[in-house]
């Protein structure tokens, strides 16, 4: 599996600026042909690094409620459940979970009901404390300067290097650090498929 080179990183930066940028425009910037750019983007999608193209909406132009930043300190062992509950709420845009069961999210809530985030279904008994702050501004700027492509082997959990392998099972791509992990996974996958 090939890693990320400077051209891949530049293509990612350009797509982050404008996900609808024509491949011909990207090609002229990175000094490749449009088909070569298309191949690289396909490869980035194939390995799972580039998951989707999305839209960045300027919410200041919409009248929809109040943007807030919410910090929740959960009781030990509750982080996954609280994170899933936050993500299921249509008001939540981004949600982050730390190792110590702290959750941070951004949400747009009705102006007259800031606590609407905590509906009747929300497991408030798993919350030690929370803080809601008005959000003035937010920005997102991922960096690719000193990164390397390093997926995790689905069989053993090791980092997959350039010598790693990948294979699709029922349309989903899996990464393996070596051929023995791939063979072991394939055997288990086929056995489970036959049983179902």
CATH superfamily of the domain spanning 150-196: Ribosomal protein L24 (2.30.170.20)
Query: In this predicted structure, what is the pLDDT of residue 42?
Result: 92
pLDDT per residue over 114-147, tens digit each? 777 887 788 889 999 999 898 888 777 777 777 7
Backbone phi, psi, residue 181, to 5°: -65, -40
**Percentage of residues in the chain with pLDDT exceeding 70?**
96
Q: What is the fold, at CATH topology level, of the domain defined by 1-49? A: Arc Repressor Mutant, subunit A (1.10.10)
Query: In this predicted structure, what is the pLDDT of residue 59?
Result: 65
Query: What are the boundaries of each domain within the chain?
Result: 1-49, 61-134, 150-196
* pTM (two decimals): 0.61
Indicate if the pLDDT at residue 66 is higher than 90. no
Q: Are 107 and 93 in contact (CB under 8 A)?
A: yes
Q: Report angle CA 185, 43, 19 to the nearest 5 degrees.
A: 130
Q: What is the fold, at CATH topology level, of the domain defined by 61-134? A: Alpha-Beta Plaits (3.30.70)
Query: In this predicted structure, what is the pLDDT of residue 32?
Result: 95
pLDDT per residue over 93-111, tens digit each? 889 999 898 999 999 888 7
Same topology, domains 1-49 and 150-196? Answer is no
């Amino acid at each position: 599996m090939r890693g990320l080179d400077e051209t891949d990183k530049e293509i990612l930066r350009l797509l982050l600026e404008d996900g609808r940028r024509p491949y011909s425009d990207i090609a002229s910037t990175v000094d490749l042909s449009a088909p070569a750019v298309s191949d690289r983007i396909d490869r980035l999608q194939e390995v799972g690094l580039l998951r989707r193209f999305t839209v960045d909406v300027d919410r200041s132009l919409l009248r929809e409620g109040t943007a807030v930043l919410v910090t929740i300190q959960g009781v030990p062992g509750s982080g996954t459940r609280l994170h899933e509950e936050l993500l299921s709420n249509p008001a939540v845009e981004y949600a982050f979970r730390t190792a110590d069961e702290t959750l941070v999210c951004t949400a747009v809530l009705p102006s007259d009901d800031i606590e609407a985030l905590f509906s009747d279904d929300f497991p408030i008994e798993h919350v030690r404390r929370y803080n809601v702050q008005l959000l003035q501004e937010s920005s997102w700027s991922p960096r690719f300067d000193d990164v390397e492509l390093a997926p995790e082997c689905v069989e053993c959990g090791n980092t997959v290097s350039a010598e790693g392998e990948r294979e699709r099972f029922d349309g989903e791509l899996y990464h393996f650090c070596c051929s023995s992990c791939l063979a072991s996974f394939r055997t288990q996958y086929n056995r489970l498929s036959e049983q179902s």
